[in-house]
Structure 1
Amino acid sequence: MAPAEILDLYDLALLVNYERGSSEPRYRYTKLREVVRDNESFQTVRLLNSAWATRPSPKVAFAFDTIPPKDNLDEPDLPTNMLPTPIPLNLTHLSSKELETIYWQARNHDACYKSVTLLQHFFEYYPLETSIRIRTSAGANYITTLSHRDIIEFKLHGPKMATNACVLPSGTGHFTGMQDVMDHAVLGFDGTILDLTSMQFGDGGRGLGGRSVFVLEKQETYYERLKKFAEKPDTVNVKHSFYIFPPEEPGVNEWLLDVARRVKERWDRRATEHWCGHCGAPAAMMRCSLCKDAYYCDKGHQAAAWPFHKKFCTGKI
């Protein structure tokens, strides 16, 4: 008899984030036009309003142009292809990490409940007693079951960062941190928190010491992290549940179901089709030279994931 399947929350987070971000309908086929911070104004388009102007810093605004490709409509949207060709002079200074931050800070607006729903859809492929391994960079490594998952909802009073991501030509603005109170939701497993949308708050939402694009850490550490996001995170009046209803916006849940299906297909092919241990991209070309079991897009992604991988690398360090 074949051994029972064991899921892995860290690996699933990589796959879910990649498939979600690369197909996010609100930003499909968008290219970055401009970035302004604090009291700067856009130079190429007039978008910001009086409420934004009076909002205290720190704040950042992005303008995106919708530019569908001429041939491959299935091409994923990624930080690496987010810039237009040729690259405008006002964007040439952006580093790979800065582009990654912009990519996730925009896409993670109003996405926490969608991300939790997406994970919920994926878990529905399995019986509740399916085992799942929980690993963190602090060295936690234990197995629990899907029946132990906990959807945790709470409020963030006084968000410290504001973001406006505007998509052209529609002019649709996606604002984060403009209200006095924000609702937030994450997934928990026996005292460990997974927040896939932590980077809506900028680089302060990066895990692994400022390297990862999501957070997977023990609850106490995560609750301390929330102080970076808001003046008064309410971790006392917390709501716990096992199931949440899918989003009601037209087409959104259908998209989430499709993302969950793609994640399931990639997970099932994990023995032969690997992914990057930092961003979840397929066809990762580099391997860990020690264990030969971890794959990465490039040296930068390998370095970003090292604080996690070094805890579990089976090679000699």
Structure 2
Amino acid sequence: MDTTDEPLDLYDIAVLLNYERATTEPRFRHTKLREVALPGTRPKTVAFKAPNEHEWIDNDCTWVVLDQVPDQSSDRDLFSDFLPEGKKPGGGISEQELETLFYQVRCHDGGYINIGLLQILFNMFPNDTKLKIRHAPKNKSPGESYITSVTKRVIIEEPFMYPKTSMAIAILPENQLLVSGNMPNFETAIMGFGALDDPSDEVKSYLDLSSMQFGDAGRGPGLNGKQLFALDTTAEHQSRVMRTMGGNDPEKTPKTSGAIRGTPYDDWLTEVATRVKKKWDNRHEEHWCGHCGSPDATSKCAGCGQAWYCGKDHQKVAWGFHRGYCNKA
């Protein structure tokens, strides 16, 4: 099948990138969940006092304690293996909340890492490669979609104030502590896209592969989405900012650029991007879950026969987006 003229689909690409990145994240390789302490509580299995904790802002802090198990044969970490064998979440944590934690941990402080990943992937395609952008449907209306180019993108570094949530991740046995969202000022990077025929370069769409660092409030796309990343219109992006932050820092303005310098993770990110490009190139022979990106996609949408899922649960979650593009909806 000749697919030369088919545009890249940003939504599908984001699903694949999210899976390949999250399941091979080097900072959290081979870690198992020991304990979760929800806002207002502290870990019970370890006494862990963070440096300068008295300077933290007063927001909803979730503590996550992980055990690193180095001798693992698996080439990736899966949500299904997040808990040690035979252990249940406990503490009133539901299956969906456990999934949120898995991705929230792996999105920790990941804005610039994910921008580097997107930059590497897009640079693997010719500059004239078309890019299709699809947004979630609203009510009974279909989602907004348009065709642009991989070059009609911009990196946006946004300064925020007073994040509404924070996370402290303790990794044992090295006693490593990673904290985000605990200071009054917070900066992250996302990627914006404009229409191909718009000379003003106005940003119409915002992609944040690290949106799950804010927990369920970071889910997308759309105002009531359930996806593991955010692909938002301008209005949806502004709404998400207000749900996760106290607002933009009035003393700073967002910075825009066409590229960022390399990161310490570029070798790994290149491997991730290479795997995603290979999957995209073989998209008519290989299938992946339209929600989480897993290659174990055995359930096909009975309506259109085009979308695949790893199970009924993820198919149901993804319907909020897919219904806008399923030709049998």
Partner letter of residue 18 of structure 1?
Y
Point out where structure 2 has 5 or more consecutive residues left out of the alignment: 138-142, 195-203
- CA drift of 1:299 comes to 1.0
Compute the displacement of 1:283 (Å): 2.3
Quote how far apart the aligned CAs of 1:154 are.
Answer: 1.0
Q: Residue 48 of structure 2: SS of its match in structure 1?
A: coil
What is the percentage of aligned positions where both structures have the same residue? 38
CA contact (8 A) 2:225 2:321 kept: no
Counterpart-to-counterpart distance in 1, 2:246 and 2:254: 17
Q: Indicate which of 286, 291, 308 corresponds to 1:278.
A: 291
CA distance in 2, matches of 1:289, 1:201: 33
Give, as a single letter, the amino acid of the residue that structure 1 aligns with 2:111.
Answer: C
State the match for 1:245 in structure 2. 261
1:92 Cα shift? 7.4
1:273, 1:283 within 8 Å by CA — same for their partners in 2? no
Which range moves more in the overlay, 60-69 or 292-301? 60-69
Give runs of aligned pairs for residues 266-305 of structure 1, distance below 5 A: 266-305=279-318
In structure 1, the residue corresponding to 2:187 is in which secondary structure? strand
Q: In structure 2, what residue type is equivalent to 1:221?
A: E
Q: Of residues 211, 234, 239 in structure 1, which corresponds to 2:226?
A: 211
Q: Do the aligned partners of 1:120 and 1:243 also contact (CA within 8 Å) in 2? A: yes
> Paired residue for 2:170?
166
Counterpart CA distance in 1 for 2:57 and 2:249 is: 22
Q: How far did residue 225 of structure 1 move?
A: 1.2
Task: Give the equivalent residue in structure 1 for 2:208.
Answer: 195
More strand by share: 1
Q: Which amino acid aligns with 2:260?
A: I
Q: Is the 8 A contact 2:299 2:308 kept in 1?
A: yes
Determine the C-alpha separation between the residues in 2 that align with 1:73 and 1:38: 33
Please say if 1:85 is aligned against 2:85. Answer: yes
- Residue 49 of structure 1 and its aligned partner are, at CA, apart by 2.9
Separation of aligned partners in 1, 2:279 and 2:125: 15
**Equivalents in 2 of 1:278, 1:12: separation in Å?**
12
Q: Please, which of 217, 221, 226 is the counterpart of residue 241 of structure 2?
A: 226
Q: Deviations over 1:197-243 (max 9, x none)?
A: 11111110011414111111102220221011211224881211111
Where 1:56 maps in the other structure, the secondary structure is: coil
Q: 1:224-272 deviations in whole A, cap 9, x for unaligned?
A: 210112112248812111111121x3xx111111111111111111111
Query: 1:67 matched to which residue of 2?
Result: 69
For 1:58, the equivalent position in structure 2 comes to 60
2:57–2:184 contact (8 Å) kept in structure 1: no
**Number of paired residues?**
310
Q: 1:204, 1:210 within 8 Å by CA — same for their partners in 2?
A: no
What is the SS of the residue equivalent to 1:277? coil
Preserved CA contact (<8 Å) 1:114 1:246 = no
User: 1:185 aligns to what?
Assistant: 189
Give the Å deviation of 1:91. 3.0
**Matched residue, 2:198:** none
Residues 289 and 157 of structure 1, relative CA distance in 2, 3 Å threshold: same
Q: Distance in 2 between matches of 1:218 and 1:238?
A: 17
In the TM superposition, residue 41 of structure 1 has moved relative to its aligned partner by 2.1
Identify the residue that residue 105 of structure 1 maps to in structure 2.
104
Instruction: Determine whether 1:148 maps to 2:152.
Output: yes
Q: CA RMSD in A?
A: 1.8
Q: TM-score, normalised by structure 2?
A: 0.89
Letter in 2 for 1:192: S
Moved more, 19-28 or 214-223: 214-223
1:57 to partner: Cα distance = 3.4
The TM-score normalised by the length of structure 1 is: 0.92
State the alpha-carbon separation in 2 of the partners of residues 212 and 12 from structure 1: 13
Q: 1:21-55: CA deviations, max 9, x gaps?
A: 00001110100000002232211111233644664
Superposed displacement of residue 288, structure 1 = 0.5
Contact 2:50/2:177 (8 A) holds in 1: no
Partner of 1:28: 29
Q: Aligned partners of 1:292 and 1:204: how far apart in 2? A: 31
SS in 1 for 2:248: strand
